Structure 1
Amino acid sequence: MDWAEFIKEIARQKLHKEVHRLTFIEIFGDNESPTIDKTIEGHLKGIYALFEAECSALINPKRGKKEILRKHLQTLYASQKDAGEISDRSDSIFSLNTSNKQDTHTQEYDPNFVGRESAIATLIAKLSGDCRVLILTGITGIGKTAFAGRLTAELLRNFPESIKINFDHYQDTDFASVAAFILTNSGEILTPEDRNDSQLLFNWIVTRLENNPYLLVIDSLEFILKGNGDFHDEYWEKFFNYLLSANSCKSRIIITSQDLPQELYIIGSRYPTYWHCEPLKGFNDIEQLEFFKQAGLNIGTDSDKSDSRTYLKRIGAAYEGHPLALRVITGEITSHPFYGSIVAYWKKYRHEVEKVEQSQKEEKAKSDHDEMRLDRYTSSLQMAVKKRVEKTFKRLANDVPNAYFMLIFGSVYSYPVGENFYFNTLETLGLEEEDKYAVLNTLRDRYLIEEMIDDNDDYLLRQHNLIRTVALEHLKKSKNGK
């Protein structure tokens, strides 16, 4: 492993498997800023904690943090290499989970999962039968990953080993790298020559999946597609074509993607028994109310004809049951100043919902005789959801500026990280620890960050893709002084 690889590997280990590459660019680039300095300081502390090294004397504000990071990582690199503790394996670049224990992935199933029971039963039956490849499609925030997690939890009893790949997290998405990782984590030993032989890896991995009952979950497939919907790496097309055309296949593959790959669609159309595409839409009326109830809102009953129930129904319908939109709205209703008062929230923001309702009517009028109606609705919904999130950001900036600051500067992390990384974004403000937790709890309460437990039982935080996209836009504007 060379010096550059060591830098990335050591940071990945401590920073919960990866830090957004932009952070590295900022660290090793020419731009300096107080926020970046604080981020680097946090990284230094984390890296030295990993090696149980004393770092208080090393982190001196009068010295250049970038130079400290370079020099002392070089020292660590030399000492670890001399001690034989540096491995030449680069498997950690992928977030894959393999296990022969049925309960390992239960944490990936959201216990607050709502609805879609009929679809779940249908798809479980398909995957337990002849269907080998299932692809879940839909716009961002619609619940594809959560739905795949629910299916995985249901199927684990039939598949002793499961593997998850999330292409949203990684840059190295070529087929050979992924195949090598799956194989090594399945107990195979690969030479450096093997890792560079795509055809050998292809033959090896398809044989293993064909003859052994694996459950392979591929999240965010759109990240390995070109703009025209084709795969960047032709071996991915060969991979799916082989598994769908094989006489038999003991493994099953669940895919999530915002886009339906044209090449995969063409292949799947040839083998309809072994392939299924399930477009996901928002919650229906009943599921919307169940969602609100589970979030702690008093939804009333149909018999009492309460205003609260009526308003929640209108909110749900306006955003077509989109889970992320409903989640951020629920977060606002349950937070200051409404504290669960649906009526008070409606009086304050009904005009926003009515504006969306009016847009829906206009869109329907335009689309009544349009064959592309579904695409137009999808685009309109995506825009409506993003505008909804934008309004939430603006209100957060006005109501709790420190929480807004934490959210946008925390967007540099594209991977789940610990609480301390979010706390580091507020270091320049000199807040007490309890105040930092109060700020973080504001983001939790408004569902602007998500909580998770990883395979190492570490408690981590992440931002949903759509939330993070908006946060990065706000961060860029703040740096430009807008």
Structure 2
Amino acid sequence: MNDRKKAILFLAAQPTSTARLRLDEEIREIEAGLQRSKYRDRFQLKQQWAVRSRDLQRAMLDHQPQIVHFSGHGVGQATAQERQSPEGTRKLVPLDRVGAFEEGLILEDQTGQAKLVTTEALAALFELFRESVECVVLNACYSERQAQALTQHIPYVIGMNQAIADKAAIEFSVAFYDAIGAGRDIKFAFDLATVAIKMAGINQDHIPVLITKRLDRPPAPTPATIAFSTYNPQTFTGREEETRVICEQLRRGCRIVAIVGITGVGKTTLAERVIAALAQEEESLPYVRFSLDDRSIGTDFSSSGAALLRELGDELTLEDQQDPTNLVNHIVSRLQSHPCRLQIDSMERLLKGNEQEGWSEFSDHLWLSLFQRVLSANQMASQLILTTQDIPGDLESVGDRFHQFWFCQTLQGLSQEEQLELFQKLGLQDDQERLKRIGQFYDGHPLVLQVIADEIKQRPFNGSIQSYWDRYGEEFEAATPQGKVDRSRTFRTRVRQRVEQTIQSLPDAAKQMLCVCSVFRRPVPETFWIEMSEGDDPYAAFDCLQGRKLVEYVDVPGQPSLVRQHNLIRSVSYGLLKEDSEAWERAERKAADLWLTAYMPPDDAPNIETVRGYLEAFDHFCEIGDWDKVKEVSSTRLNTPTQDDLGGQLYTWGYFQENVLLHKKQLKMARIHDDKQETAWALCNLGNAYFSLGQYPQAINFHQQSLSIAREIDDRKGGGVSLGNLGGVYASLGQYQAINFYQQSLSIAQEIGDRFGEGRALGNLGLAYDRLGQYSQAIGFHQQYLSIAQEINYQYGEVNALVNLGEAQRKLQQYSESLANNQAALQLTQEIGDRANEAEALLNLAKLHHDLNDTPTALPLCQQALAMASELGIPLKADCEELLDKLTNGDELKEKE
């Protein structure tokens, strides 16, 4: 911050004809929060009441504020639900005092009556003060539209997207300025303020919206800056009418557009063509693409919804992971607060069925729930474009009920004129009558026509349509008579057969490369394709595939161009590969080897991408059922500070959902191969992952199964681990028979000389006695655990021991010892990347400073812990929220007492 004080201008208007609001309470709470804040000397709070237009102008001139806060009434179009809601919101009552389509702030006129300040006037005023004002808070109902207008001139503007309760508005303000006074930035203050509404038990945390100045955002997307997956304006042909219709639907406010058609007909390309057309407009929304082509994404909502949320730029919370219904709410809220155009490709992967047999309803009903929420929400600026081979009947029914927000575009093949245009762009202009017959036979299917055109240009036809016709003419003579082509399985089969014929006609080296590379589940570097080849000249083979348009380049920010196959081509080529079981297995093994030896993650890659090679290799070996290799990959000690194996590293980093998926696959393989030992360990690891997510019944179930198998095969070490894990779950549930489990685990570890297991058991006993309030005994156990962990160089255990030891010492008011141990733990967690324990160490330090009445130090520590626990989705979040409530409200409660 600058040395001079920042001025916060509080403006209040409450016309005599409107319902009374608790604006005096709001300003009193804001002022009290700033007075006790760490940086109270850096702010000055100015107030202006009963604000008229003239008062607003004068106050801006007099005070030159950096933050302008308006509290009062707003007016807008209420939903039926809002009209029936209890009084106490900041909407103008009655609603019919202003025009039907006007929204925004209410000031007072010269007589104290309500007067709407227009959006244009408000924007013009703040344009004059754009050099000094940093943030505007419009804490009134229906103020989002005016907030949007102010972002032309002001870096940060907060508005309300619908009616907000008076109590929620106050909770928001108090928390917002508490964070500002603690030295946090606007974004953090906004996030904390929305959390405060939720913590107060008010279901309105989705109403405040933070909008940043357009110049502070990434540049508006344009066709030149968007990394499209398939659309190329130089080669795109036709679809003018479909593009026009879909763009018009989106411009008029349609929320979901579904583009439906068989594979390869150009659904994704059309969606991206629409985005490119809309990106030309000044107010274009940010573009997000989420592809379900990535086969590592599960079809259940817990995994696919989590992947979507991350693509939208947000992380799962504990509540999301414990109950996927909360994940639906989170995604809807994200779409409301961060408007975008979201393209979801290959939606049929979420449906029951397949291409050969057809599709039916969603595999997980929560996907239907998400789309229904998008259509039915009171406010939704985001727009979704779905590309899919089929629409389930239940989604169509929902769409029909909200027809003003739903549009379905069935995508047929290209028209005859468009077909000829495509052939011309691809270098074929002669013999248009035969080209028309070919196009008719395949109903203008663009991918097939492109494949055929490239085939004609190659040997042995060398561009001669006549020669090509001589080879395949009889096939085309059997074309369906003029009229609508049957789009059933028969036509799908015809399309696949043509793609297969093209692949079969390739030179052997190119065909072999295309088929073996179909084992890749995601785009890979071109060098991977070259390495997979078994031919003498792999570069010539790749050039052949590229020339035939059988491979596609994908632009990924920060990475060299990656290569993939279109889904249709990959599906056919993979089927051909599996006809030769030896070649298929050899390809899967080669791909796994490349992931393990040649994969290079980008320098700034997130943690999970640094182990992507191991995860992909693991899946390739699972595919061919090589149990020995699966075990080898999963047990490899990684080059990380903790030198964990793959599952352990995911656990340390806090990727608990990915950990669950890994161990489920491992469990399936272990059971197939009747490997009791590995089955028990997979069950144990699954139990630990679910425990970290706070899903205790599932954790108990897996640990009990693991214990049963360990006893069956007389694995005393494994049995001791399972007993300790069961004790941990029961302790978290407050059932203190957990001590019995811990003692059994300790006895077994000591009997068999398992120092690792002995240390963990001692640490668990320390936690149990801590929960019983017997802190001296707890400290003794934690110190023993710390000693063993340091002896065997078990850094994760050392962190655990330090964190738990420091917390027990805090409870005994041994503050200096507690501070030293928690600080040592914090440093070590950051060195090894143990984010869960880092959050716990931060929280413990916050508790310690709270005990010492040092709120300015405690608050940011608690906020850091809460942010980290929320991102990881761990139960610690609830403890952080409880302490945060004490830090922000505790002083007032003490005064009242």
TM over 0.5: yes
1:231 counterpart residue number: 362
Shift of 1:275: 0.3
Partner deviation per Cα, 1:98-129 (whole Å, 9 max, x = no partner): 97651442434322111010110111010111
Gaps of 5+ in 1: 1-97, 301-307
1:389 counterpart residue number: 499
Shift of 1:468: 1.4
How do 1:121-136 residues align onto structure 2 when only pairs under 5 Å count? Answer: 121-136=244-259
Q: Pick from 279, 296, 315 the counterpart of residue 410 of structure 2.
A: 279
Whole-Å separation in 2 of the counterparts to 1:381 and 1:180 = 36
Q: 1:419 to 1:272 in 2, by over 3 A?
A: same
Q: 1:118 to 1:325 in 2, by over 3 A?
A: same
1:251 counterpart residue number: 382
How do 1:189-208 residues align onto structure 2 when only pairs under 5 Å count? Answer: 190-192=316-318, 194-208=320-334
Matched, 1:221 2:347: yes
Determine if contact 1:135/1:278 at 8 Å carries over to the other structure: yes
Q: Pick from 270, 284, 291 the counterpart of residue 166 of structure 1.
A: 291
> Could you tell me which amino acid in structure 2 is paired with residue 401 of structure 1?
D
> Could you tell me which amino acid in structure 1 is paired with residue 455 of structure 2?
E
Partner deviation per Cα, 1:204-233 (whole Å, 9 max, x = no partner): 221232344211111011111123622222
Shift of 1:421: 1.4
Q: 1:238 to 1:99 in 2, by over 3 A?
A: farther
Determine if contact 1:99/1:160 at 8 Å carries over to the other structure: no
Secondary structure of the equivalent of 2:437?
Answer: helix
Secondary structure of the equivalent of 2:521?
Answer: coil
Shift of 1:447: 2.1
Secondary structure of the equivalent of 1:168?
Answer: coil
Determine if contact 1:131/1:276 at 8 Å carries over to the other structure: yes
Whole-Å separation in 2 of the counterparts to 1:248 and 1:472 = 45
Partner deviation per Cα, 1:293-326 (whole Å, 9 max, x = no partner): 11122x15xxxxxxx1111111111111011210
Partner deviation per Cα, 1:66-95 (whole Å, 9 max, x = no partner): xxxxxxxxxxxxxxxxxxxxxxxxxxxxxx
Secondary structure of the equivalent of 2:543?
Answer: helix
Shift of 1:477: 1.2
1:451 counterpart residue number: 553
Partner deviation per Cα, 1:380-430 (whole Å, 9 max, x = no partner): 32121112122212222xxx111111111111013222211111222x44x
Q: 1:412 to 1:190 in 2, by over 3 A?
A: closer
Gaps of 5+ in 2: 1-216, 354-358, 585-897
Whole-Å separation in 1 of the counterparts to 2:412 and 2:314 = 40
1:312 counterpart residue number: 435
Q: 1:287 to 1:410 in 2, by over 3 A?
A: same
Whole-Å separation in 2 of the counterparts to 1:409 and 1:209 = 40
Whole-Å separation in 1 of the counterparts to 2:426 and 2:573 = 24
2:226 counterpart residue number: 105
Determine if contact 2:319/2:326 at 8 Å carries over to the other structure: no
Whole-Å separation in 1 of the counterparts to 2:510 and 2:256 = 42
Secondary structure of the equivalent of 1:405?
Answer: helix
Partner deviation per Cα, 1:130-180 (whole Å, 9 max, x = no partner): 311000111111111111111122233444422211112133243344554
Determine if contact 2:515/2:573 at 8 Å carries over to the other structure: yes
Question: Aligned-pair RMSD on alpha carbons?
Answer: 2.6
1:473 counterpart residue number: 575
Shift of 1:341: 2.0
Whole-Å separation in 2 of the counterparts to 1:255 and 1:394 = 33
Shift of 1:345: 2.0
Q: 1:132 to 1:186 in 2, by over 3 A?
A: closer
Shift of 1:193: 5.1
Q: 1:225 to 1:424 in 2, by over 3 A?
A: same
Whole-Å separation in 1 of the counterparts to 2:494 and 2:311 = 42
Whole-Å separation in 2 of the counterparts to 1:269 and 1:168 = 28
Alignment length, in residue pairs?
A: 356
Q: 1:180 to 1:385 in 2, by over 3 A?
A: closer
Deviates more, 1:185-194 or 1:379-388: 185-194
Secondary structure of the equivalent of 2:253?
Answer: coil
Determine if contact 2:288/2:312 at 8 Å carries over to the other structure: no
1:423 counterpart residue number: 530
Q: TM-score, normalised by structure 1?
A: 0.68
Matched, 1:441 2:543: yes
> Could you tell me which amino acid in structure 2 is paired with residue 416 of structure 1?
P
Shift of 1:201: 2.6
Q: Pick from 371, 377, 399 the counterpart of residue 268 of structure 1.
A: 399
Secondary structure of the equivalent of 2:268?
Answer: helix
Determine if contact 1:335/1:445 at 8 Å carries over to the other structure: no
1:52 counterpart residue number: none
Determine if contact 1:131/1:252 at 8 Å carries over to the other structure: yes
Q: 1:319 to 1:180 in 2, by over 3 A?
A: closer
Shift of 1:256: 0.6
Whole-Å separation in 2 of the counterparts to 1:462 and 1:263 = 33
Q: Pick from 333, 336, 344 the counterpart of residue 210 of structure 1.
A: 336
Q: Indicate the structure (1 or 2) with the bigger Cα radius of gyration.
A: 2
Shift of 1:252: 0.4
How do 1:2-401 residues align onto structure 2 when only pairs under 5 Å count? Answer: 101-103=220-222, 104-108=225-229, 109-111=231-233, 112-156=235-279, 157=281, 158-170=283-295, 171-184=297-310, 188=314, 190-192=316-318, 194-227=320-353, 229-297=360-428, 299-300=429-430, 308-355=431-478, 357=479, 360-361=480-481, 376-396=486-506, 400-401=507-508
1:406 counterpart residue number: 513
Partner deviation per Cα, 1:256-303 (whole Å, 9 max, x = no partner): 111112221110011111101111000001100110111122x15xxx
The percent of aligned pairs where both chains have the same amino acid is 38
> Could you tell me which amino acid in structure 2 is paired with residue 473 of structure 1?
G
> Could you tell me which amino acid in structure 2 is paired with residue 387 of structure 1?
Q
Determine if contact 1:137/1:144 at 8 Å carries over to the other structure: yes
Determine if contact 1:230/1:262 at 8 Å carries over to the other structure: yes
